[in-house]
């Protein structure tokens, strides 16, 4: 089986490529390296013992994409390629709509024309907004996200539902909660550009002295310690869920399938709990300061991931502390690389 992985040199994509290779799938990566680097390809090979086929181009370039489909018999796609910075999406909404939706549609057009099925889409818990009740399951009503980034995820889901229904295709929409951590080999991990938006890379950069202090955005939320609560899912656990979701689609006998799964641990952790767990796991201090709440941040989000356990046989297995240990090893690797 040959799987196209768009954005396969990115954070979640690279970990998933390793899992696919280790499960004997052939992998073709298309990534324009707008948020990744070439050494990740070498490191994928070091970890998995196999080198995936790699094409460095922008998926908006339809003619190049078509050539890949001409050259290889593709059986499915996992679509990670997207811009993902929530704040930036508010400043550059058109870039986000253009990149995240046109690149998606271009791949779907090839699937339609060439009669290929099995498409997995990286969605996000942002599609739920601030849900009224916790935990969030797949039937929790969606709310219009505040950011243009979040809207591209909701629109992407709608495009895929229409695609599956009209052309009789099998699709899986995976709603990730908050991915953290790095590969246990410390050869793969997140590469944040500039000041990280996400908590854990901000914590690791502060611990290693790149940032003076971690900014904790608000300690007046209605939570036990006043800081916001999220569901932190270890990236290798998340990567494994993609293989399970793909295997399910490949085994489906129905022509049309629209799967939707929450991928989280089911447990919420506050910002200060994460800081504390990081300090204990790695025996380093993380200086922090309390700042004003950040616009658009919600109070609490954690998953009910029972559906994924029941239907995919998948469950998050790695503890927060263990995930935070891997992230620190990755940070040290990046510092040593220079
Ligand atoms: N990391 C998170 O917190 C999170 C949470 C929920 C959902 N997601 C979604 O998961 C997916 C992967 O996220 P990630 O954290 O690995 O991001 P990432 O930025 O590390 O990976 C995305 C990859 O796609 C590539 N890319 C972007 N636009 C492209 C284009 N037009 N053509 C070719 N390549 C392109 C980038 O170079 C990058 O390597 C994204 O769709 C993201 O929105 C991420």
Report yes or no on 94 lying in a domain.
yes
Whether 147 lines ligand 1, by a CB cut-off of 6 Å, is: no
Query: Strands 229-230 and 269-270, how do they pair?
Result: antiparallel
Whether 32 lines ligand 1, by a CB cut-off of 6 Å, is: yes
CA dihedral 245, 321, 36, 52 (to 10 degrees): -50
- Asked if residue 138 has a cis previous peptide bond (ω within 30° of 0), the answer is no
Report yes or no on 141 lying in a domain.
yes
CATH code, domain carrying 157: 3.40.50.720
Q: Whose CA is nearest to atom 10 of ligand 1?
A: 122
Report yes or no on 51 lying in a domain.
yes
Report d(CA 233, CA 319) in Å as an integer.
9
So what's the pLDDT on residue 274? 98
269 neighbors 277 (Cβ within 8 angstroms): yes
Domain containing 112 equals: 2-177+234-264+304-316
230 neighbors 134 (Cβ within 8 angstroms): no
Report d(CA 93, CA 69) in Å as an integer.
30
3 neighbors 77 (Cβ within 8 angstroms): yes
301 neighbors 269 (Cβ within 8 angstroms): no
Report yes or no on 182 lying in a domain.
no
Q: Which residues contact 228 (CB under 8 A, 6 or more apart)?
A: 217, 218, 221, 270, 271, 297, 298, 299, 300
Which pLDDT tens digits describe the chain residue by residue (338 residues)? 999 999 999 999 999 999 999 999 999 999 999 999 999 999 999 999 999 999 999 999 999 999 999 999 999 999 999 999 888 999 999 999 999 999 999 999 999 999 999 999 999 999 998 899 999 999 999 999 989 999 999 999 999 999 999 999 999 999 999 999 999 999 999 998 788 889 999 999 999 999 999 999 999 999 999 999 999 999 999 999 999 999 999 999 999 999 999 999 999 999 999 999 999 999 999 999 999 998 888 999 999 999 999 999 999 999 999 999 999 999 999 999 87
Residue of 55, 62, 50, 58 lying closest to 21 (CA atoms): 50
Query: Phi, psi at residue 199, to the nearest 5°?
Result: -60, -50
- What is this structure's pTM? 0.98
Distance 112 CA to ligand 1 centre (A): 23
Q: Whose CA is nearest to atom 21 of ligand 1?
A: 10
Report yes or no on 48 lying in a domain.
yes
Report yes or no on 69 lying in a domain.
yes
Report d(CA 176, CA 16) in Å as an integer.
14
Catalytic residue among 11, 128, 149, 261: 149
How many domains are there within the chain? Answer: 1
Q: Which residues contact 24 (CB under 8 A, 6 or more apart)?
A: none
């Amino acid at each position: 089986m040959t799987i196209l992985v768009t954005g396969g040199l990115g954070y979640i994509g690279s970990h998933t490529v390793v899992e696919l290779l280790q499960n004997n799938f052939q992998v073709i990566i298309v990534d324009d390296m707008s948020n990744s680097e070439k050494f990740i390809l070498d490191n994928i090979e070091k970890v998995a013992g196999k080198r995936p086929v790699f094409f460095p181009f922008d998926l908006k370039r339809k003619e190049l994409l078509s050539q890949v489909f001409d050259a290889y018999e593709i059986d499915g796609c996992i679509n990670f390629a997207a811009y993902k910075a929530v704040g930036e999406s508010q400043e550059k909404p058109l870039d986000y709509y253009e990149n995240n939706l046109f690149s998606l549609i271009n791949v779907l057009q090839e699937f339609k024309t060439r009669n290929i099925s099995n498409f997995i889409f990286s969605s996000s818990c942002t599609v739920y907004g601030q849900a009224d009740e916790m935990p969030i399951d797949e039937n929790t009503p969606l709310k219009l996200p505040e950011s243009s980034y979040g809207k591209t995820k909701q629109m992407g889901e709608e495009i895929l539902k229409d695609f599956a229904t009209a052309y009789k295709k099998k699709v899986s929409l995976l709603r990730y909660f908050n991915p953290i951590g790095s590969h246990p080999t410390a050869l793969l991990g997140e590469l944040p550009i500039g000041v990280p938006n996400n908590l854990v890379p901000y914590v690791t950069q502060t611990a290693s002295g790149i940032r003076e202090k971690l900014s904790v955005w608000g300690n007046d939320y209605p939570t036990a310690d006043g800081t916001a609560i999220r569901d932190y899912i270890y990236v290798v656990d998340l990567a494994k869920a993609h293989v399970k979701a793909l295997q399910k689609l490949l085994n489906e006998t129905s022509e049309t399938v629209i799967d939707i799964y929450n991928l989280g641990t089911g447990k919420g952790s506050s910002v200060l709990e994460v800081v504390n767990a990081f300090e204990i796991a790695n025996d380093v201090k993380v200086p922090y300061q309390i700042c004003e709440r950040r616009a658009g941040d919600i109070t609490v989000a954690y998953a009910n991931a029972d559906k994924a356990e029941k239907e995919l046989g998948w469950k998050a297995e790695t503890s927060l502390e263990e995930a935070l240990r891997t992230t620190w090893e990755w940070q040290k690797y990046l510092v040593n690389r220079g």
